[in-house]
Structure 1
Amino acid sequence: MKKILIVEDEHELALNIQEILINLEYDVVGIFNNAIDVLDYFIDGSADLILMDVLIQGDLDGIDLCYKLKDKLNIPIVFLTAYSDKSILERISKIMYDGYLLKPFTIESLRSAIFLGLEKLKENENTKQISSTKNTLKIRDKGFLVPVPIYDILFLKADGLYTKVFARSKTYLIRDILKDVLGDLPHTTFVRVHKSYMVNVQHISSFNSKELQIDEYTIPIRRGFYKELHKLTDAK
Structure 2
Amino acid sequence: MTGLGVLLARRGEKAEAETWYRRAATAGDTDAMTGLGVLLARRGEKAEAETWYRRAATAGNTDAMFNLGLLLARRGENAKAETWCRRAATAGDTSAMNNLAVLLTRRGENAEANAWRRRAADAGDTSAMNNLAVLLTRRGNNAEAETWCRRAADAGNTGAMYNLGVLLARRGENAEAETWYRRAADAGNTGAMYNLGVLLARRGENAEAETWYRRAADARHASAMNRLAALDAETVAWRRFARKSDV
Q: Identify whether the pair has TM-score above 0.5, normalized to the shorter chain.
A: no
Larger Rg: 2
Structure number with higher relative contact order (C-alpha < 8 Å, ≥ 6 residues apart)? 1
With the length of structure 1 as denominator, give the TM-score of the two structures: 0.31
Question: Under a length normalisation based on structure 2, what TM-score does the superposition of the two structures give?
Answer: 0.30
Q: Hey, which of these two has a bigger chunk of helix by percent? A: 2
